[in-house]
Amino acid sequence: MSKRIRFYIVYSLYWLLIFVIIRLLFMIYNFPESAGLEPIIWLKIFWHGAVLDISAVGYILLLPSVMIIATAFFRREIFYYFNLIYTLILLIIISYATVADMVIYGYWGYRFDISALWYLKTPEEAMASVSWYEITIPLLIGTLLWFGFYRLYRKFLAHLSRNWERSWWQTPLTFCILTALSIIPIRGGFGLAPNNLGRVYFHTNIFANHTAINLPWNILYSITQRKNLSREYHFTEEAEAERQFRALYPPAGPVQSVLNTSRPNIILIMLESFTAKAIGALGGLPEVTPNLNHLSEEGLLFTNFYASGDRTDKCIVPILSGYPALPRGQIIKMHRKLQSLPHLFRDLQCADYRTAFYYGGDINFANLKSYLIIGGAEKLITMQDFPSSTYNAKWGVHDHVMFERFLNDIQTAPEPFCYALLTLSSHEPFDVPGQPIFDTSTKEGKFINSVYYTDSCLGDFIRAAKNEKWWSNTLIVLLADHGVRIIDRLPNYAADKFHIPMLWLGGALTLTGAKVTAFAAQNDLPAMLLHQLGMDAEAYSFSKDVLASGTYPFAFYTFNDGFGFLTADLKAIYNNQSQSYIVQESANQAENVDIGKAYLQILSRDFLRR
């Protein structure tokens, strides 16, 4: 009996050591962020993270505990071989998840969980996001990790799991009790509430909180909570939440018309990852987007415009259906709910518009094709419509090739038309043709170089379009699909990460060289466009028109798992996991700082009822 207990204790300590090591590796890999933490915060990360470390160990020990009980009745050597295989499998999974987590965090700003696994449904697209060395080096590190950990187990622990004495009743009794008691560390104590991510949130620095999370526990937790990825958030009484939500959408007054026609052609160009941080016209880097900066002086620039979410599949729905991104989960992956959403393409078809969507990558990625077909896209042009010789980008066709096809097809498009294009070359791994303009030795340098390239493609397209006969009757809407955190290593919740451009151009535009400073988000685009056409936008209940008088200007965005609510006087960023505000700044005491909670409550309720 004593040998079994000894093994149980040493095996527990073995896994605790592994969790300490992989947490330390995470901090070293993300050194630019961890270096800014005081040494005492490093210690607190490990102290607070121990809660989930111990819980994860409890989960790991459940199956071995059952097998130890079985050794009282069967051959005791079975456990030795079982635990060799069991430990090896766990080490392989955890080691490769560890390196994936380290790489992904640099892009997304949150830890690896089930949401990352969704992208593996289309592995070629997922792998296209990273360069060869970002695949091979982590794979090598992961292999070294599990091999090293396994050697440690074989040398110092494996022999403790054999040559056990026979124990008819002590073993079942003892380990039944130990297994029952393991529920305590698994749940995180004797309290009514079980362990959750908020248990390790101890600091205002979100990176410190993220680092305290135990990776295997987080993956398991996200899997068990998959049905709640888009749960209903409840902060106040329904009637009160409804009242506050309705106050955000007062009856709008007259709409300021900025077009010279009620039936313009519409060209919608969504620029991959075009963060405001890279755009001089919005106070960002001055030399990265010279074309967009120049065009901003001759169009209508929305200076306080925000992405609704942080990934393309989260933001395409707000842009085309006016439906905000959710803190957890994506409605685009839920076919039945998609069918209940309004869609710009469908509404414009009712006004005799022809519709098309262009994307140089795999249109099947993240259920995008299904969403566009449901929405009424009459024509889809993707990488499959180009010869393989043009596949000179990991994601598919480079932007200059796609813009050229886009322009040629528009020449023969029956008017009025609504044609949309989603660029992709400024998506990681940021490989673009031509000689680099900026230093590409860093990830930030590669990113801004790719943005510069796409900006040059955009400039060529606009210059050519101005010479076409359809230009005088066309409105071009430029906006980013989402922002990124690469420049300045922004936290995943930061408002600056979600700040993106929106610029209206074209011969149909009468208000030029102007700026709209009202706060708005991607889900507001449908209402703004439809009102300019004199069409009803009532079906877009989460979309407002900041060009109409009497509108309450605000921007709402979500991250994993929280939201930001912004106005000219308020910045409120809330974390649902810790159930606390990360940022709460108000220049107006009359402003309701909790209005974002009411908004999320109504949004989540609406989602669940669709």
Tell me the CATH number at 404. Answer: 3.40.720.10
Residues 158-185 have a mean pLDDT of 80
* Encoded tokens for 433: 């043709």
Asked if residue 516 and residue 369 are part of one domain, the reply reads yes
Residue for token digits 């947490």?
A: 23
Assess whether pLDDT exceeds 60 at residue 123: no
The answer to the question of residue 596 being in a domain is: no
Assess whether pLDDT exceeds 80 at residue 190: no
The answer to the question of residue 522 being in a domain is: yes
Max mean pLDDT range (203-217, 244-258, 391-405): 244-258
Strand ranges (E), 299-365: 300-306, 354-359
Asked if residue 506 and residue 415 are part of one domain, the reply reads yes
Signed CA dihedral, 215, 216, 221, 222: sign only: positive
Q: What's the rounded Cα separation, in Å, for the pair 267 and 257?
A: 18
Averaged pLDDT score across all residues of the chain: 89
Residues 558-583 have a mean pLDDT of 93
Q: What's the rounded Cα separation, in Å, for the pair 414 and 354?
A: 7
Asked if residue 216 and residue 261 are part of one domain, the reply reads no
**165 vs 273, more confident:** 273
Contacts of 13 (CB under 8 A, 6+ apart): none
Residue 235 exposed, middle or buried by CB count within 10 Å (0-12, 13-18, 19+): middle
The answer to the question of residue 248 being in a domain is: no
Asked if residue 309 and residue 266 are part of one domain, the reply reads yes
**108 vs 269, more confident:** 269
Q: What is the pLDDT of residue 310?
A: 92
Strands 300-306 and 514-516: parallel
Q: Which helix (H) or strand (E) holds 380?
A: strand 379-381
397-448 confidence digits (pLDDT tens):
999 999 999 999 999 999 999 999 999 999 888 889 989 999 999 989 999 9
Q: What is the pLDDT of residue 338?
A: 81
30-80 confidence digits (pLDDT tens):
888 888 889 899 999 999 999 999 999 999 999 998 888 888 777 668 889
> Band of the pLDDT at 232, cuts 50, 70, 90?
confident
Q: What is the pLDDT of residue 72?
A: 77
CB-based burial, 598-608: b 16+ in 10 Å, e otherwise = bbbbbbbbbbe
Strands 417-422 and 354-359: parallel
* Encoded tokens for 154: 């074989």
Q: Which stretch of 42-56, 214-228, 558-572, 595-609 has the lowest confidence by average pLDDT?
A: 214-228
Residue for token digits 């941080």?
A: 277
Question: Which of 548, 565, 598 is a domain's end point?
Answer: 548
The answer to the question of residue 407 being in a domain is: yes
In 3D space, the residue among 562, 563, 567 whose CA is nearest the CA of residue 592 turns out to be 567
Asked if residue 311 and residue 205 are part of one domain, the reply reads no
Q: What is the pLDDT of residue 192?
A: 47
Q: What's the rounded Cα separation, in Å, for the pair 610 and 604?
A: 10
Q: What's the rounded Cα separation, in Å, for the pair 606 and 242?
A: 11
Q: What's the rounded Cα separation, in Å, for the pair 264 and 268?
A: 12
Assess whether pLDDT exceeds 50 at residue 340: yes
- For residue 64, what is the DSSP state? H
Asked if residue 201 and residue 317 are part of one domain, the reply reads no
Cβ pair 111, 215 in contact under 8 A:
yes
- For residue 467, what is the DSSP state? T
Asked if residue 281 and residue 208 are part of one domain, the reply reads no
Asked if residue 278 and residue 183 are part of one domain, the reply reads no
> Helix (H) and strand (E) counts for the chain?
22, 13
% of the chain at pLDDT higher than 70: 93
- A 10 A CB-CB count for 500 gives 27
Assess whether pLDDT exceeds 70 at residue 309: yes
> Which amino acid is located at 542 in the chain?
F
Residues 562-579 have a mean pLDDT of 94
The answer to the question of residue 585 being in a domain is: no
Asked if residue 149 and residue 78 are part of one domain, the reply reads yes
Assess whether pLDDT exceeds 80 at residue 10: yes
- Phi, psi dihedral angles at 275 (to 5 degrees): -75, 150
Q: What's the rounded Cα separation, in Å, for the pair 473 and 465?
A: 11
Asked if residue 120 and residue 192 are part of one domain, the reply reads yes
The answer to the question of residue 605 being in a domain is: no
Q: What is the pLDDT of residue 134?
A: 66
Assess whether pLDDT exceeds 60 at residue 127: no
Angle at 29 between CA 27 and CA 35, to 5 degrees: 55
Assess whether pLDDT exceeds 80 at residue 510: yes
The answer to the question of residue 587 being in a domain is: no
Cβ pair 244, 598 in contact under 8 A:
yes
Strand ranges (E), 96-247: none
**390 vs 47, more confident:** 47
**166 vs 501, more confident:** 501
Q: What's the rounded Cα separation, in Å, for the pair 1 and 175?
A: 10
Q: What's the rounded Cα separation, in Å, for the pair 8 and 26?
A: 27
Q: What is the pLDDT of residue 214?
A: 93
Q: What is the pLDDT of residue 125?
A: 56
Asked if residue 276 and residue 214 are part of one domain, the reply reads no
In 3D space, the residue among 245, 206, 113 whose CA is nearest the CA of residue 574 turns out to be 206
Omega cis (within 30) before 39: no
In 3D space, the residue among 280, 242, 307 whose CA is nearest the CA of residue 521 turns out to be 307
* Encoded tokens for 561: 């798992």
In 3D space, the residue among 555, 587, 546 whose CA is nearest the CA of residue 573 turns out to be 555
Q: How many domains does the chain have?
A: 2
Asked if residue 216 and residue 270 are part of one domain, the reply reads no
In 3D space, the residue among 564, 594, 585, 596 whose CA is nearest the CA of residue 307 turns out to be 564
Residue for token digits 């969790």?
A: 19
Q: What's the rounded Cα separation, in Å, for the pair 573 and 494?
A: 8
DSSP assignment string, 519-579: -EEGGGHHHHHHHHTT---TT-TT---TTBTT----EEEEETTEEEEE-SSEEEEEETTTT
Structural domain range at position 521 = 257-548
Strands 379-381 and 562-566: unpaired
The answer to the question of residue 588 being in a domain is: no
Cβ pair 306, 495 in contact under 8 A:
yes
